[in-house]
Amino acid sequence: MPAKTKKQATDAVLRQHAEQQFAHELEELAKADTRQRPPNWKLSPWAVATYLLGGTLENGFEVSPKYIGNRRLMEIAIATLTTDRALLLYGVPGTAKSWVSEHLAAAITGDSTLLIQGTAGTSEEAIRYGWNYAQLLAKGPSPAAVVPSPLMNAMELGKIARVEELTRIPAEVQDTLITVLSEKALPIPELGTEVQGNQGFNVIATANNRDKGVNDLSSALKRRFNTVILPVPGTAAEEVNIVQQRVASLGKALDLPPEAPALEEIRRVVTIFRELRNGATEDGKTKLKSPSSTLSPAEAISVVNSGVALAVHFGDGALQASDMMAGLVGAVVKDPVQDQVVWKEYLETVVKEREGWKDLYRASREVL
Ligand SMILES: Nc1ncnc2c1ncn2[C@@H]1O[C@H](COP(=O)(O)OP(=O)(O)OP(=O)(O)O)[C@@H](O)[C@H]1O
Ligand SMILES: [Mg+2]
């Protein structure tokens, strides 16, 4: 693993893993945590929940919230990982499935990097193990020639393996997971041995139901998972809060000047997204068509974030309607024909008429 052998200045990496970025919080939590920890867990379930949802420790230390939303869902997710069932985070795109999966792994085992990215091309070897062919040809099958998958590593280390986009993996390859999840063992028939999962081993998978080309889980596999559905934010205030927090911390990571991202603009983006998603204006008076795009919090975050970058580098530093418009159109209009019609109609019937939104309407004329 070159990244580990060559010591890298972690300050310079573009995106730190959760356990690096929040190392200080994890350390403080471990110190304050007197509750019982499941075998091989770095924190108790209570402390993991505090890490995810934020809170103040007895010594006054503030833990920042990572997931904003229903506390119970996170408790169910964490409790699942203490049992022999694996966890499936399910929902529409951009609802923090990968985000939560990374933070859970970081808090529970201190390592969120044992990751298998599911694609249509994911093979059984990517899930089980592969071979180092030079070794294999020179010496035949031997333990030294086995190239373990992240799943196999997680089993040996008693850690959590993450499988991203499980439903993109071809159904017959997905089923490789069944033995691992029910027997907690991974056979290596070529060597006549197996790797047994150590205490602490479990799997967190994520999947969304919207993308094209998804393969349903077989019922045998489904039974090995507890499913937690991550919803889109229930209220506008919650959604504004999510966007605001993430924009602030992304801005810090990208070294954008600490110009406070204008709350008003975030409110407007969130309002537009929610109205289009729900197919009606917030006062319920006007019915709207919904575009084909999902318009998740993740997209709202990136609209505001690109707006901030424009404002900082090409504007006066304060986020304006015109800075957000390009990103907004890009997020809403995914299908150039249908979505364009939906967006135009929204501009004419809602944006143009709404008090205080004239600047937004004008900005939209520049982009179209
Ligand atoms: N409820 C939430 N609390 C905190 N952050 C959130 C929430 N919802 C979305 N986000 C933010 O949205 C961003 C995208 O989330 P993520 O990539 O985890 O989505 P996803 O559900 O895995 O989507 P996909 O199905 O496309 O993979 C993250 O930066 C995350 O911080
Ligand atoms: Mg994801």
Q: What percent of the chain has pLDDT over 90?
A: 75
C-alpha 211 to ligand 1 mean position (Å): 15
8 A C-beta contact, residue 208 and residue 96: no
Strand partners, 130: 147
Residue 151 has pLDDT above 80, yes or no: yes
d(CA 162, CA 148): 15
- Pocket test of ligand 1: the residue of 67, 98, 299 to mutate, having most ligand atoms within 8 Å of its CB, is 98
Which ligand 1 atom sits nearest the alpha carbon of residue 100? 18
C-alpha 89 to ligand 2 mean position (Å): 10
Mean pLDDT value across residues 256-274: 81
Amino acid 318: pLDDT: 83
C-alpha 93 to ligand 1 mean position (Å): 8
Cβ atoms within 10 A of the Cβ of 192, count? 8
DSSP secondary structure code for residue 287 in this structure: B
- Note the pTM of the prediction, 2 decimals: 0.91
Amino acid 210: pLDDT: 72
Q: 308 or 280: whose pLDDT is higher?
A: 280
Nearest CA to ligand 1 atom 6: 96
Query: Which ligand has the nearest atom to the CA of 247?
Result: 1
Amino acid 38: pLDDT: 97
Nearest to 195 by CA among 179, 182, 181, 184: 184
Mean pLDDT value across residues 237-248: 90
Kindly report the average pLDDT of the chain as a whole number: 91
C-alpha 159 to ligand 2 mean position (Å): 20
Amino acid 254: pLDDT: 64
Which ligand 1 atom sits nearest the alpha carbon of residue 233? 1
Residue 2 has pLDDT above 70, yes or no: no
Amino acid 1: pLDDT: 46
Q: Determine the residue type at 13.
A: V
Residue 255 has pLDDT above 80, yes or no: no
**Residue 235 pLDDT class (50, 70, 90 cuts):** very high
The model's pLDDT over 174-210, given as tens digits with 9 standing for 90+, comes to 999 999 999 999 999 999 999 999 999 999 999 987 7
Residue 214 has pLDDT above 90, yes or no: no
Which ligand 1 atom sits nearest the alpha carbon of residue 165? 27
> Which are the contacts of 359, defined by CB distance < 8 A and separation ≥ 6?
320, 321, 322
Mean pLDDT value across residues 270-280: 95
Amino acid 317: pLDDT: 80
